[in-house]
Amino acid sequence: MKLSNGLSLNGHPSGRHFLQIPGPTNVPDRILRAMDYPTIDHRGPEFQQLGKAVLSGIRRIFQTEGPVIIFPASGTGAWEAALVNTLSPGDPVLMCETGHFASLWKRMAERLGLAVEFIPGDWRHGVDAAAIEARLAADRERRIRAVCVVHNETSTGVTSRIDEVRRAIDRAGHPALLMVDAISSLGSIDYRHDEWGADVTVAGSQKGLMLPPGISFNAVSARALEAAKQARMPRSYWEWTEMLAANANGFFPTTPATNLLYGLHEAIAMLLEEGLPNVFARHRRHAEATRAAVRGWGLDILCQDPDGHSPALTAVLMPDGHDADALRRVALENFNLSLGQGLGKVAGRVFRIGHRETSTT
């Protein structure tokens, strides 16, 4: 594809590029067309309709009755917003080492001055709810302020059971907030903010929501809003209360990513037209087919949790002595196909296949 600015993208003789990385995912033509529209006055009446529509529509995707805040930022920004709005410097938080993204969120929490306790993991399993329960039960003074987990660990292709984490917290009778990274699951894998008792759910635009990168989300519970009143972490851009005050009328305190919101409006419509249960079933079907193919090739799947195989992506282990990035290069050069690279500890040993289809509609 040759762009008018002279940049050359996916310079293949013909046909569509197969973008099979876990994210950004393929942006359907319907969403591209919806964004191809003039940027309007973000303080005007036309915008207000758009703002109200996306702010209420996105709640249905999070399966929540509560507010969802939209930031012009990548998912990492919404991670930061979740922490700084609810916590105070030095607060103990419990996190689980499920893979690269869990490790990055932990590093961020430490940089922000939180006292992170990291339950170790082998990057082949999901969150250990029993370990969380044991740790919270042992915290007799109830000092731990939050449990932060990744729903779908995009570096390993393992999905964790958030309902089980909720039950673990409840069984321990612990008041810690539950914060969930659903950045690569929302819109691909069943996720229920209210029913599963999440306090803050973090998501991003460029994975299950089929949008380009650039906006991210915090779904917040009443308890999280209550905690925000006491939270002393310095924050300004990420402040929830200013967002919520403007959002009440369909507006934003700063300039919103208007054209991405056009796209979000269309993405919500597409997900609801197909029906969320059908969307989730489609991803499970693609995942099953992908795993069957990988087993047929005689390669190992990184996930070792029988119930944890991600519907959104599959991470594949290369045999010893073979470089995953060399394989990815062959796929790109010969088949116009982008596969996800191995991240962090598994770089060069793993490649990842995103399950979202290259659709034109």
Shorter beta-carbon distance to ligand PLP: residue 136 or 183: 183
Based on the number of CB atoms within 10 Å of its own CB, is 7 exposed (0-12), middle (13-18) or buried (19 or more)? exposed
Put the strands of the sheet holding 350-354 in their side by side order: 18-20, 337-341, 350-354, 313-317, 300-301
Nearest distance from C-beta of residue 345 to ligand PLP, angstroms: 15
Nearest distance from C-beta of residue 312 to ligand PLP, angstroms: 9
CB 153 within 8 A of CB 121: no
C-alpha–C-alpha distance, residues 79 and 89, integer Å: 16
- Asked if residue 82 binds ligand PLP (CB under 6 A), the reply is no
Shorter beta-carbon distance to ligand PLP: residue 97 or 181: 181
Of 91, 97, 128, 181, the residue at the interface with ligand PLP (CB under 6 A) is 181
- Asked if residue 184 binds ligand PLP (CB under 6 A), the reply is yes
- Asked if residue 183 binds ligand PLP (CB under 6 A), the reply is yes
- Asked if residue 353 binds ligand PLP (CB under 6 A), the reply is no
- Asked if residue 24 binds ligand PLP (CB under 6 A), the reply is no
Shorter beta-carbon distance to ligand PLP: residue 110 or 139: 110
Nearest distance from C-beta of residue 134 to ligand PLP, angstroms: 25
Nearest residue to 96 (alpha-carbon basis) of 75, 124, 74, 117: 117
| Angle formed by the axes of helices 75-86 and 222-230, nearest 10° | 60
Of 75, 121, 212, 354, the residue at the interface with ligand PLP (CB under 6 A) is 75
Structure-token pair, residue 343: 């991240």
Instruction: Please list the residues that pair with 339 across neighbouring strands.
Output: 20
- Asked if residue 76 binds ligand PLP (CB under 6 A), the reply is yes
Nearest distance from C-beta of residue 211 to ligand PLP, angstroms: 11
Tell me the number of residues near ligand PLP by CB under 6 A.
12
Span near ligand PLP by CB under 6 A; candidates 63-71, 72-80, 251-259, 326-334 = 72-80
Nearest distance from C-beta of residue 11 to ligand PLP, angstroms: 25
Nearest residue to 328 (alpha-carbon basis) of 318, 336, 316, 338: 338
Nearest distance from C-beta of residue 183 to ligand PLP, angstroms: 4
Considering only residues 190 to 209 of the shown chain, the ones binding ligand PLP according to CB under 6 A are 204
Nearest distance from C-beta of residue 2 to ligand PLP, angstroms: 27
Considering only residues 100 to 119 of the shown chain, the ones binding ligand PLP according to CB under 6 A are 101
- Asked if residue 80 binds ligand PLP (CB under 6 A), the reply is no
Strands 177-181 and 152-153: what pairing? unpaired
Residue 115 belongs to what H/E stretch?
strand 115-119
Nearest residue to 151 (alpha-carbon basis) of 110, 113, 208: 208
Residue 170 belongs to what H/E stretch?
helix 162-171
- Angstrom CA distances, 14 to 2, 6, 23, stand at 12, 18, 23
C-alpha–C-alpha distance, residues 162 and 172, integer Å: 16
Residue 241's contacts (CB-CB under 8 Å, 6 or more residues apart) are 228
Phi, psi of 339 (to 5 degrees): -110, 155
Nearest distance from C-beta of residue 12 to ligand PLP, angstroms: 26
List interacting residues with ligand PLP (CB under 6 A): 23, 74-76, 101, 150, 154, 181, 183-184, 204, 213
